[in-house]
Structure 1
Amino acid sequence: MSAHTELVSRLRAAWLSGKTRPMEYRVAQLEALGRFLDEKKQDILDATALDMGKPPFEVELSEISICRSELNHTLNNLGTWMKDKHVEKNWATQLDSAFIRKDPYGVVLIIGPWNYPINLLLVPLIGAIAAGNCVVMKPSEISRNVERLVAETLPRYLDKDCFAVVTAGTEETTRLLENKFDYIFFTGSPSVGRIVMTAAAKHLTPVTLELGGKNPCYVSDTCNVQNVARRVAWGRFFNAGQTCVAPDYVLCSLEMQEKLLVALREAITEFYGPNPQESPDFARIVGDKHFQRVQALLRSGRVAIGGQTDAQTRYIAPTVLVDVQQDDPVMQEEIFGPILPILTVTSLDDAIAFINARERPLAIYVFSSCKKVVNQVLEKTSSGGFCANDTIMHMTLTSLPFGGIGQSGLGHYHGHYSFDTFSHPRATLLRGAGREALNTPRYPPYAPRRLPLLRATTETKRRAACTLL
């Protein structure tokens, strides 16, 4: 028996014992996770700085604060979420009890990415714990300092019988996926997502895939250009652009492009100074391989702002490209770096057609002071999420589901949606053992005269239409 198989078997035995089911147990584990965030805060700041030069402010905001918000929201509402949900009944079951029981799946696997290695590992973990599961966590080996921190310290806070951290590269992860899990939650690229889904299919294991995509950002001619530039620049260059929901490219008119370039240059200088390489508030690319890939994308179009690089420190300046063509390399893949291409369109309809001709993205952004423009983009496109007149901020709401569609993902989470993702809605009908005479009409030998009675007591009738005057 391999170490991974033995681990999964041990956790499954713990789950079958019912240990994770009581609310008190779930609350205790969630509170322990909160202590990890509080007591290891400085270690998290140090590890993310070593991995990608991430500014402490960005770590506080995007890693620690979001996790704490998710944790508090879950603790505030867990009792309500766990309650059975009673449902409507037909006439045949009026004397019975019908409800949905939120059952844990069992032993789940969470595979985290490197770009937000705390947030994107712990937020799904919060949902899995809240739902009563045992969990195997696999942090990304690319953000190796955070991986080491999580592997060495997180198990000290959680119940080792029910929760485990596995460190693994590609080959070891492939072997890990050969084991039967009851649910798999993966965050990463579409190419690896297909591998995970293929492995899950062998055991008919349900999955959530949080993938990426090229998120379009349409800027109409009716907007405050300075505000647009600051919000787009913040969303694009936060974490050096290594954000799955970052605006990946801008669509606007040629006239707006000229105004936007001036405003973007001002915003970048305001944020990072005249030389962003010296700014303590601008992160670095996570590794040499990723640096080389992003650097190669600078050859698309023409550099209008930025473009400077330093391979030794994996620095790529906040960069804006113009004269970009649809078939340029920068438009063929998710950028995942501090590069913002601008493509010109002739109209709103042209922008919508451009968006709809491509894979559905994780997010769509639109900037306009005209509500009609915003609503047109919302109604005529499809994406995992949508945000008007800002970027990224929709994912800070625990009340909204976060997830992709099509190429950008499968399933969603955050807040109540995390609890639901890791819970099986178990249909439950509790009938009395007596009153057998009421059941007789449905038994053989069948008599056609009984059919109207059975239909009347079991069929759902359509309500009469009501016209509002």
Structure 2
Amino acid sequence: MNIELKKIENIQNSSKLSVSERINYLNELKKEIIQNEDNIFSALHKDLNKPKFEVYTSEIGFLINEIKLFIKHLNEWSKPKKVKSSIINFPSNDFIYSEPYGKVLIISPWNYPFQLAILPVLSAFSCGNTVVLKPSEHTPETSKLVNKIISKIFPSNLVCVVEGDYKVASKLLKSKWDYIFFTGSVRVGKIVAAEAAKQLTPHTLELGGKSPCIIDKKINLKTVCKRIVWGKFMNAGQTCVAPDYLLAHKSIKSDLVKELSSRIELTYGKSLSANTNTTKIVNEENFNRLINLINSNKILFGGEYNSNKSKIYPTLIDEPNISGEIMQNEIFGPILPIFSFENISEIDKIILSNPDPLALYVFSNDKDFSENIIRRYRFGGGVVNDTIIHLTNPNLPFGGIGNSGYGSYHGKSSFDLFTHKKSIVKRKMWLENNLRYAPYKNKLNLVKKILKYLS
């Protein structure tokens, strides 16, 4: 057996740790992350050339806030919740117990390789589960650092990291787990779901999709473009909730393109050589895929790339064919197609040509228009008049629907995700209602009256 895979033999079925003991581990994890800030910067620079600002805001700071939230609320969340009892069971006290599933497998992606690895690990562990993490092989420096931090903080029989490629992940999926949490592509998500189904293992899929961004007429385009450029091109567009394409009202499309171009130049310079502090494309396969998309479509702006550095300048594409490759799968790179529309049916034609997206964004000063868009389409979550910020609020569950995944986490939703809700009724012994017991003679009419009264 692979040396890495042998690690899972020592994993316990559950941690058996008290809440206070789990909180102590979370405090140690928080300290270790803070102490390793420079190492995290370095690892992500080597793997993806990520700017320090983006590393801190989207990886380190995000994690620290989630850890603090668990430390503050875990004791409260873990207590049995008393709920209103049914009069049918009088006298009784009714509760919901949150209990860990047991052994959890987490497979994390490469695009935010530190945060998206450790966040589900700390969430699952906090709930009393034991955890095996398989980080992405495409960001090796970050995976090594994640392994080092987790190995230092957690006993190997409670949490361990198994490094390796897709073959290792495939073998892990063949093992028996009590829960599986996967973040990645739709294609691999289907494989994970199929393997989980063989053993009826509950699981969560955090996937992606073609997330639209709709821009209505009569709106401040300067602010719109600032927010779109930030949300789309951060991390070189390698963000699961990044706007995948724009739908702009025909009357403002030309001005929108000019403003977007101006904002891109202000943010990233007028060429790749003008700004060295930009994220690179993760590997050659993805780089070549993206270049093919650029070369197969009409470029409105940008189009520059550097094969030696695996970098692509933010690129705007004009009205691609909706049956073309660029509109068939999530782009996951710094390429932004722009369509125009005049009415809602034209929006429908494009959005409904793909499965339910992970996110949707709409910019409009017309509340009725925005509300219609929000209610008209199925998507995981979204924002009115901004992009991607919904995932920063721990009070909002984050997750997809249908083809973009299922299951939601962040904040309290993470605790709910990694715990089974056990319903418990505690009856009293001092009163007995014989109505439910046989023989049933002359009881039916009374039961009907009681149930009618209670409804």
Q: TM-score range by the shorter chain?
A: over 0.9
Q: Which residue of 2 aligns with 1:97?
A: 93
> Quick check: 1:277–1:315 contact (8 Å CA) kept in 2?
no
Distance 1:459 1:264, change over 3 A: same
Within the candidate set 33, 44, 48, 1:37 is matched to 33
Q: Which residue of 2 aligns with 1:385?
A: 381
C-alpha displacement at 1:316, in angstroms? 0.6
Q: Which residue of 2 aligns with 1:442?
A: 436
How many Å separate the matches in 1 of 2:334 and 2:165? 27
> 1:398-449 deviations in whole A, cap 9, x for unaligned?
01000000110011100000000000000111223554xx2433223x2232
Within the candidate set 419, 444, 449, 1:451 is matched to 444
How many Å separate the matches in 2 of 1:65 and 1:172? 30
Q: Which amino acid aligns with 2:365?
A: S
How many Å separate the matches in 2 of 1:34 and 1:63? 13
Q: Which residue of 2 aligns with 1:19?
A: 16
Q: Which residue of 2 aligns with 1:359?
A: 355
> Quick check: 2:12–2:157 contact (8 Å CA) kept in 1?
no
Q: Are residues 1:244 and 2:240 paired?
A: yes
How many Å separate the matches in 2 of 1:354 and 1:265? 24
> Quick check: 1:254–1:344 contact (8 Å CA) kept in 2?
yes
Question: Superposition RMSD on alpha carbons, in Å?
Answer: 1.9
> 1:343-370 deviations in whole A, cap 9, x for unaligned?
1222234214432342110000001111
Distance 1:111 1:458, change over 3 A: farther
Q: Equivalences for 1:111-190 in 2 at 5 Å? A: 111-190=107-186
Q: Which residue of 2 aligns with 1:205?
A: 201
How many Å separate the matches in 2 of 1:274 and 1:238? 17
How many Å separate the matches in 1 of 2:199 and 2:6? 17
Give secondary structure in 2 for the equivalent of 1:365. strand
Q: Which amino acid aligns with 2:335?
A: I
Distance 1:311 1:399, change over 3 A: same
Q: Equivalences for 1:303-342 in 2 at 5 Å? A: 303-342=299-338
Q: Are residues 1:110 and 2:106 paired?
A: yes
C-alpha displacement at 1:87, in angstroms? 1.6
> Quick check: 2:183–2:206 contact (8 Å CA) kept in 1?
yes
How many Å separate the matches in 2 of 1:6 and 1:287? 29
TM-score by length of 1: 0.93
Q: Which amino acid aligns with 1:417?
A: S
Q: Which amino acid aligns with 1:77?
A: H
TM-score by length of 2: 0.95
Distance 1:358 1:224, change over 3 A: same
C-alpha displacement at 1:210, in angstroms? 0.1
Q: Which amino acid aligns with 1:413?
A: Y
422-431 or 344-353, which deviates more: 344-353
Give secondary structure in 2 for the equivalent of 1:38. helix
> 1:273-304 deviations in whole A, cap 9, x for unaligned?
22244314421101111111111110233111
Q: Which residue of 2 aligns with 1:347?
A: 343
214-223 or 294-303, which deviates more: 294-303
How many Å separate the matches in 2 of 1:101 and 1:73? 20
414-423 or 156-165, which deviates more: 156-165
48-57 or 92-101, which deviates more: 92-101
Within the candidate set 53, 56, 62, 2:49 is matched to 53
How many Å separate the matches in 2 of 1:264 and 1:300? 21
Within the candidate set 228, 245, 251, 1:255 is matched to 251
C-alpha displacement at 1:166, in angstroms? 0.6
Q: Which residue of 2 aligns with 1:466?
A: none
Q: Which residue of 2 aligns with 1:395?
A: 391
> Quick check: 1:300–1:328 contact (8 Å CA) kept in 2?
no
Give secondary structure in 1 for the equivalent of 2:98. strand
> 1:131-153 deviations in whole A, cap 9, x for unaligned?
11111111101111111111233
How many Å separate the matches in 2 of 1:272 and 1:460? 68
Q: Which residue of 2 aligns with 1:229?
A: 225
Q: Which amino acid aligns with 1:19?
A: K
Q: Which runs of 5+ in 1 are unaligned?
A: 463-469
> Quick check: 1:225–1:263 contact (8 Å CA) kept in 2?
yes
How many Å separate the matches in 2 of 1:460 and 1:80? 36
C-alpha displacement at 1:7, in angstroms? 4.0
Distance 1:242 1:2, change over 3 A: closer
> Quick check: 1:19–1:25 contact (8 Å CA) kept in 2?
no
> Quick check: 2:238–2:333 contact (8 Å CA) kept in 1?
yes
How many Å separate the matches in 2 of 1:278 and 1:460? 75
Give secondary structure in 2 for the equivalent of 1:177. helix
Give secondary structure in 1 for the equivalent of 2:133. strand
> Quick check: 1:29–1:129 contact (8 Å CA) kept in 2?
no
> Quick check: 1:112–1:186 contact (8 Å CA) kept in 2?
yes
Q: Which amino acid aligns with 1:421?
A: L
Q: Which amino acid aligns with 1:189?
A: S
How many Å separate the matches in 1 of 2:202 and 2:452? 32
Q: Which residue of 2 aligns with 1:82?
A: 78
Q: Are residues 1:430 and 2:426 paired?
A: yes
Distance 1:241 1:270, change over 3 A: same
> 1:251-293 deviations in whole A, cap 9, x for unaligned?
1133322101110111011111222443144211011111111
C-alpha displacement at 1:201, in angstroms? 1.0
How many Å separate the matches in 1 of 2:237 and 2:73? 34
> Quick check: 1:90–1:459 contact (8 Å CA) kept in 2?
no
| Number of positions where the alignment pairs a residue of Structure 1 with one of Structure 2 | 455
> Quick check: 2:231–2:242 contact (8 Å CA) kept in 1?
yes
How many Å separate the matches in 2 of 1:47 and 1:452? 73
> Quick check: 1:300–1:324 contact (8 Å CA) kept in 2?
no
C-alpha displacement at 1:60, in angstroms? 0.5
Give secondary structure in 1 for the equivalent of 2:360. strand
Q: Which residue of 2 aligns with 1:467?
A: none
Q: Which amino acid aligns with 2:153?
A: Y
Give secondary structure in 2 for the equivalent of 1:341. strand
Distance 1:457 1:183, change over 3 A: farther
Give secondary structure in 2 for the equivalent of 1:448. coil
> Quick check: 2:130–2:159 contact (8 Å CA) kept in 1?
yes
